[in-house]
Amino acid sequence: MFRFVIPLIGLGLLPLQAEPQKFDLLTLKDGKGYRSVTVTKVSPDGITLMHAEGMAKVGYEKLPEELQKQLGGFDAAKAEAYRKQQQEKQKQISAALNAYNEAGKERKQLILDQRLEKRIAKELSEQEQREKMPCQLKVLRSFDQGILCWMSPGVEVPTYETNAFGRAKQVGTRWSFSTEYEQPVLIRGDWGPIVDGDEVGAWVLEDGSFTYTDELEVERKVRAYRVVSSRRK
Protein backbone atom coordinates (compact mmCIF):
# COMPACT_ATOMS: atom_id res chain seq x y z
CA MET A 1 0.00 0.00 0.00
CA PHE A 2 1.41 3.33 -1.06
CA ARG A 3 1.10 6.54 0.91
CA PHE A 4 1.42 9.99 -0.56
CA VAL A 5 2.93 12.76 1.53
CA ILE A 6 1.57 16.11 0.44
CA PRO A 7 3.91 19.04 1.12
CA LEU A 8 1.43 21.28 2.94
CA ILE A 9 3.94 24.06 3.38
CA GLY A 10 4.57 24.16 -0.34
CA LEU A 11 0.82 24.40 -0.97
CA GLY A 12 0.54 27.31 1.44
CA LEU A 13 -1.66 25.45 3.93
CA LEU A 14 0.82 25.91 6.80
CA PRO A 15 2.35 29.29 7.66
CA LEU A 16 5.96 29.89 6.81
CA GLN A 17 8.16 31.26 9.58
CA ALA A 18 10.07 34.28 8.34
CA GLU A 19 13.81 33.87 8.31
CA PRO A 20 15.64 36.54 10.31
CA GLN A 21 17.26 39.25 8.24
CA LYS A 22 21.03 38.81 8.02
CA PHE A 23 23.73 41.10 6.67
CA ASP A 24 27.44 40.69 6.28
CA LEU A 25 27.72 44.45 6.74
CA LEU A 26 25.02 46.90 7.81
CA THR A 27 25.94 50.55 7.35
CA LEU A 28 23.73 53.19 8.97
CA LYS A 29 22.95 56.65 7.63
CA ASP A 30 25.57 58.21 9.91
CA GLY A 31 28.26 55.90 8.50
CA LYS A 32 28.49 53.58 11.49
CA GLY A 33 28.74 49.93 10.46
CA TYR A 34 28.01 46.54 12.02
CA ARG A 35 29.43 43.23 10.74
CA SER A 36 27.81 39.78 10.79
CA VAL A 37 24.38 41.22 11.59
CA THR A 38 21.25 39.24 12.48
CA VAL A 39 18.02 41.17 13.13
CA THR A 40 16.48 39.58 16.24
CA LYS A 41 13.52 41.90 16.85
CA VAL A 42 11.54 44.46 14.89
CA SER A 43 9.77 47.14 16.95
CA PRO A 44 7.67 50.15 15.87
CA ASP A 45 10.61 52.43 16.64
CA GLY A 46 13.52 50.38 15.28
CA ILE A 47 15.29 47.04 15.31
CA THR A 48 17.34 45.00 17.75
CA LEU A 49 20.26 43.18 16.22
CA MET A 50 23.14 40.90 17.07
CA HIS A 51 26.49 41.64 15.47
CA ALA A 52 30.10 40.56 15.64
CA GLU A 53 30.77 42.62 18.78
CA GLY A 54 27.52 42.19 20.69
CA MET A 55 23.96 43.54 20.54
CA ALA A 56 22.47 46.91 19.65
CA LYS A 57 19.14 48.72 19.32
CA VAL A 58 18.96 50.93 16.23
CA GLY A 59 16.19 53.46 15.61
CA TYR A 60 14.46 53.50 12.23
CA GLU A 61 15.71 57.03 11.58
CA LYS A 62 19.27 55.68 11.36
CA LEU A 63 18.44 52.80 9.01
CA PRO A 64 18.98 53.04 5.23
CA GLU A 65 15.78 53.77 3.28
CA GLU A 66 15.97 50.44 1.45
CA LEU A 67 16.11 48.47 4.72
CA GLN A 68 13.22 50.48 6.12
CA LYS A 69 11.11 49.39 3.16
CA GLN A 70 12.17 45.74 3.57
CA LEU A 71 10.99 45.85 7.18
CA GLY A 72 7.58 47.24 6.28
CA GLY A 73 8.22 50.94 6.28
CA PHE A 74 8.73 53.52 8.99
CA ASP A 75 5.89 55.48 10.64
CA ALA A 76 7.30 58.35 12.70
CA ALA A 77 4.06 58.88 14.66
CA LYS A 78 3.82 55.20 15.66
CA ALA A 79 7.50 55.16 16.57
CA GLU A 80 7.09 58.21 18.84
CA ALA A 81 3.98 56.76 20.51
CA TYR A 82 5.76 53.45 21.08
CA ARG A 83 8.79 55.19 22.60
CA LYS A 84 6.60 57.18 24.98
CA GLN A 85 4.82 53.98 25.97
CA GLN A 86 8.14 52.25 26.67
CA GLN A 87 9.41 55.24 28.64
CA GLU A 88 6.27 55.20 30.78
CA LYS A 89 6.68 51.47 31.42
CA GLN A 90 10.30 52.05 32.38
CA LYS A 91 9.26 54.80 34.80
CA GLN A 92 6.74 52.46 36.42
CA ILE A 93 9.35 49.71 36.71
CA SER A 94 11.89 52.14 38.18
CA ALA A 95 9.32 53.46 40.66
CA ALA A 96 8.43 49.92 41.71
CA LEU A 97 12.10 49.02 42.14
CA ASN A 98 12.76 52.18 44.15
CA ALA A 99 9.77 51.46 46.38
CA TYR A 100 10.98 47.89 46.86
CA ASN A 101 14.51 49.06 47.69
CA GLU A 102 13.21 51.69 50.13
CA ALA A 103 11.03 49.07 51.81
CA GLY A 104 14.08 46.83 52.01
CA LYS A 105 16.09 49.63 53.63
CA GLU A 106 13.32 50.20 56.17
CA ARG A 107 13.20 46.47 56.95
CA LYS A 108 16.97 46.36 57.35
CA GLN A 109 16.91 49.45 59.58
CA LEU A 110 14.11 47.93 61.66
CA ILE A 111 16.13 44.74 62.09
CA LEU A 112 19.21 46.77 63.06
CA ASP A 113 17.16 48.83 65.54
CA GLN A 114 15.69 45.68 67.07
CA ARG A 115 19.13 44.11 67.37
CA LEU A 116 20.46 47.31 68.96
CA GLU A 117 17.57 47.39 71.44
CA LYS A 118 18.20 43.76 72.37
CA ARG A 119 21.92 44.40 72.80
CA ILE A 120 21.30 47.48 74.97
CA ALA A 121 18.74 45.58 77.05
CA LYS A 122 21.20 42.71 77.47
CA GLU A 123 24.02 45.06 78.47
CA LEU A 124 21.76 46.86 80.97
CA SER A 125 20.65 43.53 82.41
CA GLU A 126 24.26 42.38 82.74
CA GLN A 127 25.18 45.72 84.32
CA GLU A 128 22.35 45.35 86.82
CA GLN A 129 23.53 41.87 87.73
CA ARG A 130 27.04 43.23 88.35
CA GLU A 131 25.98 46.31 90.30
CA LYS A 132 22.93 45.18 92.27
CA MET A 133 23.39 45.00 96.02
CA PRO A 134 21.60 42.80 98.57
CA CYS A 135 20.21 44.46 101.69
CA GLN A 136 17.69 44.21 104.47
CA LEU A 137 15.13 47.03 104.64
CA LYS A 138 12.79 48.18 107.39
CA VAL A 139 9.96 50.49 106.33
CA LEU A 140 9.80 53.92 107.99
CA ARG A 141 7.31 55.95 105.93
CA SER A 142 6.00 56.38 102.39
CA PHE A 143 6.45 59.25 99.95
CA ASP A 144 5.14 59.77 96.43
CA GLN A 145 8.69 59.20 95.18
CA GLY A 146 9.18 55.94 97.08
CA ILE A 147 9.52 54.42 100.54
CA LEU A 148 11.87 55.66 103.25
CA CYS A 149 13.56 52.68 104.90
CA TRP A 150 16.33 51.77 107.25
CA MET A 151 18.95 49.81 105.31
CA SER A 152 21.36 47.10 106.39
CA PRO A 153 23.67 46.35 103.42
CA GLY A 154 24.70 42.76 102.84
CA VAL A 155 28.31 41.63 103.18
CA GLU A 156 29.62 38.79 101.03
CA VAL A 157 31.38 36.19 103.18
CA PRO A 158 33.03 32.91 102.15
CA THR A 159 31.51 29.52 102.87
CA TYR A 160 33.66 26.48 103.67
CA GLU A 161 33.47 22.73 103.73
CA THR A 162 35.67 20.43 105.79
CA ASN A 163 37.15 17.45 104.00
CA ALA A 164 37.90 14.00 105.41
CA PHE A 165 41.26 15.20 106.71
CA GLY A 166 39.71 18.04 108.69
CA ARG A 167 40.88 20.73 106.33
CA ALA A 168 38.53 23.57 105.44
CA LYS A 169 38.07 24.44 101.77
CA GLN A 170 36.20 27.45 100.44
CA VAL A 171 33.32 26.31 98.24
CA GLY A 172 31.48 29.57 97.64
CA THR A 173 30.15 32.75 99.20
CA ARG A 174 26.99 33.94 100.92
CA TRP A 175 25.54 37.25 101.99
CA SER A 176 25.52 38.20 105.64
CA PHE A 177 23.39 41.00 107.10
CA SER A 178 23.85 42.97 110.29
CA THR A 179 20.98 42.96 112.73
CA GLU A 180 21.52 46.71 113.16
CA TYR A 181 20.09 49.04 110.52
CA GLU A 182 22.75 51.57 109.56
CA GLN A 183 21.19 54.35 107.49
CA PRO A 184 17.89 55.66 106.13
CA VAL A 185 17.49 55.48 102.34
CA LEU A 186 14.72 56.01 99.81
CA ILE A 187 13.69 52.92 97.86
CA ARG A 188 11.96 53.63 94.55
CA GLY A 189 9.52 51.15 93.07
CA ASP A 190 6.15 49.59 93.80
CA TRP A 191 6.18 46.91 96.50
CA GLY A 192 2.44 46.66 96.86
CA PRO A 193 0.71 47.26 100.22
CA ILE A 194 3.13 47.94 103.08
CA VAL A 195 2.95 49.33 106.60
CA ASP A 196 5.52 51.00 108.80
CA GLY A 197 7.79 48.45 110.42
CA ASP A 198 7.63 45.89 107.60
CA GLU A 199 10.97 44.18 106.92
CA VAL A 200 11.98 43.25 103.39
CA GLY A 201 14.99 41.56 101.84
CA ALA A 202 15.85 43.11 98.48
CA TRP A 203 18.37 43.51 95.70
CA VAL A 204 18.77 47.19 94.86
CA LEU A 205 20.64 49.50 92.48
CA GLU A 206 21.79 52.99 93.42
CA ASP A 207 19.50 55.60 91.87
CA GLY A 208 20.55 59.13 92.84
CA SER A 209 19.44 60.87 96.02
CA PHE A 210 16.31 62.12 97.77
CA THR A 211 15.65 65.13 100.01
CA TYR A 212 12.82 65.18 102.54
CA THR A 213 11.75 66.97 105.73
CA ASP A 214 11.59 64.86 108.90
CA GLU A 215 9.22 65.14 111.87
CA LEU A 216 11.39 67.87 113.41
CA GLU A 217 11.08 69.98 110.24
CA VAL A 218 14.72 69.29 109.43
CA GLU A 219 15.61 68.87 105.77
CA ARG A 220 17.56 65.67 105.16
CA LYS A 221 19.20 64.25 102.06
CA VAL A 222 19.57 60.48 101.69
CA ARG A 223 20.70 58.07 99.03
CA ALA A 224 18.06 56.58 96.75
CA TYR A 225 17.93 53.04 95.38
CA ARG A 226 15.76 51.17 92.90
CA VAL A 227 14.42 47.71 93.70
CA VAL A 228 15.49 44.94 91.32
CA SER A 229 13.80 42.17 93.30
CA SER A 230 12.47 41.81 96.83
CA ARG A 231 11.32 39.24 99.36
CA ARG A 232 9.08 40.21 102.26
CA LYS A 233 9.81 38.60 105.61
Backbone angles phi, psi at 167, to 5 degrees: -95, 135
26, 49, 58, 59, 62 from 31: Cα distances, Å: 10, 17, 13, 14, 9
Higher per-residue pLDDT: 9 or 40: 40
Are 122 and 184 members of one domain?
no
Give the range of the structural domain holding residue 26, as residue numbers without chain letter. 19-74
- Residue 191 covered by a domain: yes
Question: Structure pTM?
Answer: 0.39
Are 194 and 140 members of one domain?
yes
Domain closes at, from 91, 109, 131: 131
Domain closes at, from 45, 74, 103: 74
CB proximity list for 34: less than 8 A, separation 6 or greater: 23, 25, 26, 49, 51, 52, 53, 56
Are 50 and 105 members of one domain?
no
Please check the confidence at residue 14 and state whether its pLDDT lies above 60: no
Are 112 and 126 members of one domain?
yes
CB proximity list for 22: less than 8 A, separation 6 or greater: 37, 38, 39
Tell me the per-residue pLDDT of 84-114, one tens digit each, with 9 for 90 and over.
888 888 888 888 878 877 777 777 777 777 7
Are 209 and 196 members of one domain?
yes
Number of domains in the chain: 3
CB proximity list for 141: less than 8 A, separation 6 or greater: 147, 148, 196
Tell me the per-residue pLDDT of 142-190, one tens digit each, with 9 for 90 and over.
888 888 888 888 777 788 888 777 788 888 777 777 666 777 888 887 6
Are 225 and 162 members of one domain?
yes
Asked if 39 contacts 21 with a C-beta cutoff of 8 angstroms, the reply is yes
